[in-house]
C-alpha cells in the first residue's frame, strides 16, 4: 500500500507539471516546489543513513521507490529496506502525504501556502518495530514539528523509552473510562512540573512503574 501511494504521488506530480505547462505554456524548475521535500526531511531526521532519491516509473511493470545509502552510495528499493525503516516511513506517511499534497496544489496553481490549518496527528504505539534509539529520534522529530509547524501530536505508547524521555508537559496517563467520574477527563497529567516528575522517577525507579 505504501509503495502504491508513493508511486501515485509521482504520477500526480508529473500530471500537475503537465497541467501547469498546458495552462501557462512554460514550466521552470525554479518555479516548482520540491514535492518530495517533506519525505526527504523526514528521512534526514529519522533515517540519516538514507536519503530519499526518487520514484522510478520508467518500467511500469517494475516501479521502484529508491533511497540512497550514504555509506555505500547504492540505491535501495523500499521493498529492501528493513522492517524498522519501513515502519518509520509508514508511521509518518499520512503527515508527509498531507504536506506533499499542499505542494502539488502549488504546482497546479490552485493554492498558496500562507497559513496552514491546525493539524492534530494521532499515533498509536509508534514504537512498534523500532529500536530504542530510533524511538527517541521519533520523539525528538515530533517535538521539532510541533514547535516549528504548530502541529499537535498525541502518541499512545507502552514504550518505557518514550515515556522516560517525555517531559512533564508531555506526559499524561489515559485512565479507563470507568475510573473517570462524571465529566472528568480521562487524561491525567503525571506531574505538574519537571521537579515533581524527577522526584517521582527517583522514588519509583521509572515513570513506567508510576503509570
Q: What global pTM score does this model have?
A: 0.84
The SS3 of residue 138 is helix
Say if residue 111's pLDDT is above 90: no
Query: 37-46 and 132-149 are packed helices; what angle lies between their axes, rounded to 10 degrees?
Result: 140
pLDDT tens, 155-209?
Answer: 999 999 999 999 999 999 998 888 888 888 999 999 999 999 999 999 999 888 8
Indicate the pLDDT class of residue 70, thresholds 50, 70 and 90: confident
**What percent of the chain has pLDDT above 90?**
65
Cα distance between residue 122 and residue 168, in whole Å: 19
Indicate the pLDDT class of residue 118, thresholds 50, 70 and 90: confident
Report residue 4 as a C-alpha cell. Answer: 502504491
Top-confidence residue, 27 or 153 = 153
The SS3 of residue 188 is strand
Segment 12-39 mean pLDDT:
88
Amino acid at each position: 500500500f505504501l509503495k502504491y501511494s508513493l508511486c501515485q504521488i509521482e504520477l500526480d506530480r508529473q500530471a500537475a507539471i503537465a497541467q501547469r505547462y498546458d495552462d501557462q505554456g512554460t514550466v521552470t524548475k525554479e518555479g516548482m516546489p520540491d514535492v518530495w521535500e517533506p519525505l526527504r526531511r523526514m528521512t534526514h531526521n529519522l533515517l540519516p543513513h538514507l536519503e530519499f532519491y526518487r520514484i522510478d516509473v520508467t518500467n511500469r511493470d517494475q516501479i521502484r521507490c529508491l533511497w540512497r545509502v550514504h555509506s555505500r552510495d547504492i540505491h535501495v528499493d523500499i521493498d529492501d529496506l528493513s522492517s524498522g525503516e519501513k515502519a518509520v516511513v509508514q508511521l509518518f506517511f499520512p503527515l508527509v502525504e498531507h504536506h506533499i499534497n499542499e505542494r502539488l496544489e502549488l504546482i497546479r496553481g490552485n493554492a498558496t501556502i500562507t497559513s496552514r490549518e491546525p493539524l492534530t496527528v494521532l499515533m498509536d504505539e509508534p514504537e512498534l518495530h523500532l529500536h530504542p534509539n530510533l524511538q527517541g529520534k521519533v520523539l525528538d522529530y515530533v517535538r521539532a514539528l510541533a514547535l516549528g509547524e504548530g502541529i499537535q501530536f498525541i502518541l499512545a505508547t507502552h514504550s518505557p523509552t518514550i515515556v522516560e524521555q517525555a517531559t512533564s508537559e508531555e506526559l499524561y496517563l489515559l485512565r479507563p473510562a470507568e475510573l473517570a467520574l462524571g465529566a472528568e477527563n480521562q487524561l491525567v497529567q503525571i506531574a505538574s512540573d519537571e521537579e515533581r516528575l524527577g522526584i517521582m522517577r527517583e522514588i519509583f525507579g521509572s515513570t513506567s512503574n508510576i503509570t
